[in-house]
Amino acid sequence: MPVGPGVPGPPSALLPLRREFQPCFRSVDDKKRMLVEHTARSDRHDATEAESNSSADSLQSYENSTTMSGNESQTQAPEQPSAGVTHKEETHMSEDFAAALESYTLETEPAPSEDNVFKGTVIKITATHVVVDIGFKSEGLVPIAEVTDAHGNIKFEPGQEIEVMVQRGENEEGSVLLSHERAQRVRVWENIEKAYHSKEAVKGTVVERVKGGVSVDIGVKAFMPGSQVDVHPVRNLETLKGHEIDVRVIKLNKKRGNIVVSRKAILDEEITAKRGKTLENLAEGAILTGTVKNLTDYGAFVDLGGIDGLLHITDMSWGRLTHPRDLVHVGDQIQVKVLKFDPDKLRVSLGFKQLTPDPWLDAAERYPIGARVKGRVLSVTDYGAFVELEQGIEGLVHVSEMSWSKRMKHPSKLVNVGDEIECVVLNVNSGERRISLGLKQLESNPWERLHEKYPINSTVEGRVRNLTDFGAFIEIEDGIDGLVHVSNLSWTKRVKHPSEVLKKGEKVKAVVLGIEPEQRRLSLGVKQLQPDAWETFFQTHRIGDVVHGKVLRLAQFGAFVEIAEGVEGLCHNSEATDSNGSPAKLDAGQEHDFKIIKMNPEEKKVGLSLRAVGEEASRADVEAYKRPASSSSATTTLGEIMNWKRAGNDQE
């Protein structure tokens, strides 16, 4: 078809068509041949396809004009197809043209906007679609899934108004395909864009944890970085899942569909506003209401309204707390008193116990000495148990005040944490916040009546409980132990260790030697059960008696001689000489006659002399010489001479 100045150009609707079709042809000749074949085929169509033929002719004129070399007066007719082109090739090329045209229509459809959002009326509801009248020649169809809520209920009824957008194409019956969801997204984007420019808060629901933050549904999915979740770092973002929060759009790219939101921006503004109001009333001594935000081992942080204060564990209660959670929990609203406030650093120290009077101020009046009180065991240590008498008042039951017995190894053998017990007040020191309590005072002191039960020199029986280097402890009744000193184990033996005489667990008898109730001491003796060998010796012997003895051991100053069973005497070196005055040699095991020259019953000491026996023998010889000859023949022993001499002294 010729193209020239008198030929009208292509319609404006087909101007983009050239750009879209350009990649579909390999060369200008192929393009010309395609248009000519389409025109020839269009001439054979009936009247019902006239509109399509007209469009093809216009397209042919438009393409011919674009192939001109630049000289407007020069015309060039399109080449005719070769005679070898078959009907099959024409059909194939026609299908390519239709596909290219459809592709152009799809690619050039405008993006969703408010201009193509229609308001329609629901006509009826079927099992698969909602039929909507939007004023077109044919009715529109909205998929039933787009208007069904999470519980399966349809959100619209016939006669109600609904916003929709026209989808591409039609169904087989010619009905227009519509979308309610796309129309909603358009409205959502409008609201989001409006909130972005006005910096208004929008509500959203945290959907899931994603890399670097969380995904928030504000009508469309938006991204919230982890740093924008809260004013303080949030360690576990999974805890926010499903929570509805207020956020602000801080970044928007509608073309790419990217939205970034922040919760921190809103919280910062709220904190700033609250801080201003709080600072107006914040002063030392002020009583404020706050919310517990966080707990640590040393205290709790309380939000006073834009400013956080520290409630130290020592200022929580007048009593003892092992951890702040024993008194408060996160989220609790509590009243606190401002103890210190630093306006420059905005540091606030808070107190909770200061809201109530100090219970120690009148503790001495409320807990007099000797009074019986009840309390709960808070803790048990190696040295005793702490008992809470009331909130803020604790007393210590020392291990020595738990039982009259000395054998209790640990307080836990008697009391446990949580036990309700009764005690006796022993001492109160309000200044140092201390109360001494006792358990054993609830029972009578067995030591106070021990004199009556076990008088001095009475015989008792008990079990050997323990052996030490200095003696043995014998239990005569529950809680009453007596000590048998090593010196009171035997009259005759030199006992170095009690194990030489006694065994642990053995039942023995002993004699009560002494009682000291204040010191809780009981002295016992085992050897006192037998007669005292020394006492018997002193009763039957006097100074001047000659006794026969056996040398037991030697010392530098003399020799120890056994002169009776369990009785020893000392023969000093000065007394160990013969009748001539020469030193006599004494060896262990030798037996000699000794004269008693000293006796000390209190110290149980006996002095012996070997020299005095020799002198006594010399005197006996002289006396025998003086006696008549008739008596000289008689045999006289040394013992007889000594006894005769002693009898003479007695007569004098």
pLDDT digits (tens, 9 = 90+) for 108-132: 333 344 457 888 999 999 988 999 9
Whether the per-residue pLDDT at 23 is higher than 90: the answer is no
Range of weakest confidence among 231-245, 363-377, 566-580 = 566-580
The predicted pLDDT at position 447 comes to: 80
Q: Which amino acid is at 510?
A: A
Share of the chain above pLDDT 90, in %: 19
Quick check: 212 and 225 in contact, CB under 8 A?
A: yes
Q: Which fold has domain 450-529?
A: OB fold (Dihydrolipoamide Acetyltransferase, E2P) (2.40.50)
Q: Which CATH superfamily is domain 538-638 in?
A: Nucleic acid-binding proteins (2.40.50.140)
Range of weakest confidence among 365-379, 422-436, 461-475, 522-536 = 522-536
The predicted pLDDT at position 641 comes to: 54
Q: Tell me the pLDDT band of 304, cut-offs 50, 70 and 90.
A: confident
Burial class (CB in 10 A: 0-12, 13-18, 19+), 6: exposed
The predicted pLDDT at position 623 comes to: 60
Quick check: 197 and 203 in contact, CB under 8 A?
A: no
Residue 54, SS3 per DSSP: helix
Q: Which fold has domain 199-267?
A: OB fold (Dihydrolipoamide Acetyltransferase, E2P) (2.40.50)
Q: Tell me the pLDDT band of 396, cut-offs 50, 70 and 90.
A: very high
Cα(175)–Cα(161) distance, integer angstroms: 19
The predicted pLDDT at position 41 comes to: 41
Please compute the mean of the pLDDT values over residues 169-178 and round it to a whole number.
78
Q: Tell me the pLDDT band of 13, cut-offs 50, 70 and 90.
A: very low
Residues 132-155 pLDDT 10s: 998 888 889 999 988 887 678 888
Cα(55)–Cα(60) distance, integer angstroms: 9
Residues 213-235 pLDDT 10s: 999 988 888 999 999 998 888 88
Q: Tell me the pLDDT band of 645, cut-offs 50, 70 and 90.
A: low
Please compute the mean of the pLDDT values over residues 489-506 and round it to a whole number.
84
Which architecture, in CATH terms, is 363-442? Answer: Beta Barrel (2.40)
Please compute the mean of the pLDDT values over residues 441-463 and round it to a whole number.
84
Which one has a higher pLDDT value, 642 or 34?
642
Nearest C-alpha neighbor of 42 from the set 28, 57, 29: 57
The predicted pLDDT at position 431 comes to: 85
Which whole-number Å values give the CA distances from 588 to 492, 559, 593, in the listed order? 18, 8, 14
Q: Which residues contact 36 (CB under 8 A, 6 or more apart)?
A: 60, 78, 79, 80, 81
The predicted pLDDT at position 427 comes to: 93
The predicted pLDDT at position 35 comes to: 40
The first and second tokens of residue 7, run together, are 């030929």
Range of weakest confidence among 84-98, 255-269, 369-383, 505-519 = 84-98
Can you say how many angstroms the Cα of residue 364 is from the centroid of all Cα atoms in its chain? 37
The first and second tokens of residue 574, run together, are 């000065």
Cα(305)–Cα(286) distance, integer angstroms: 14
Quick check: 474 and 464 in contact, CB under 8 A?
A: yes
The predicted pLDDT at position 385 comes to: 92
Please compute the mean of the pLDDT values over residues 523-536 and round it to a whole number.
81
Return the number of other C-beta atoms located less than 10 Å from residue 500's C-beta. 12
| SS3 letters across 461-516 | EEEEEEECCCEEEEEEECCEEEEEEHHHCCCCCCCCCHHHCCCCCCEEEEEEEEEE
Which whole-number Å values give the CA distances from 34 to 28, 62, 95, 98, 612, in the listed order? 10, 13, 11, 12, 168
The predicted pLDDT at position 218 comes to: 87
Whether the per-residue pLDDT at 21 is higher than 60: the answer is no
Q: Which amino acid is at 514?
A: G
Which one has a higher pLDDT value, 23 or 637?
637
Strands 258-262 and 244-253: antiparallel
Please compute the mean of the pLDDT values over residues 172-191 and round it to a whole number.
83
Please compute the mean of the pLDDT values over residues 347-370 and round it to a whole number.
89
Q: Which fold has domain 282-355?
A: OB fold (Dihydrolipoamide Acetyltransferase, E2P) (2.40.50)
pLDDT, the chain, mean: 77
The predicted pLDDT at position 71 comes to: 38
Q: Which residues contact 170 (CB under 8 A, 6 or more apart)?
A: 138, 176, 177
Range of weakest confidence among 91-105, 133-147, 396-410 = 91-105
Q: Tell me the pLDDT band of 105, cut-offs 50, 70 and 90.
A: very low
Whether the per-residue pLDDT at 275 is higher than 60: the answer is yes
Q: Which residues contact 265 (CB under 8 A, 6 or more apart)?
A: 228, 248, 250
Q: Which residues contact 500 (CB under 8 A, 6 or more apart)?
A: 489, 493
Q: What is the DSSP letter of 583?
A: B
Residues 33-78 pLDDT 10s: 444 344 334 443 333 343 334 333 433 433 343 333 333 333 333 3
Whether the per-residue pLDDT at 292 is higher than 90: the answer is yes
Tell me yes or no: is domain 114-184 CATH 2.40.50.140: yes
Q: Tell me the pLDDT band of 620, cut-offs 50, 70 and 90.
A: low
User: Residue ranges per domain, the chain?
Assistant: 12-107, 114-184, 199-267, 282-355, 363-442, 450-529, 538-638
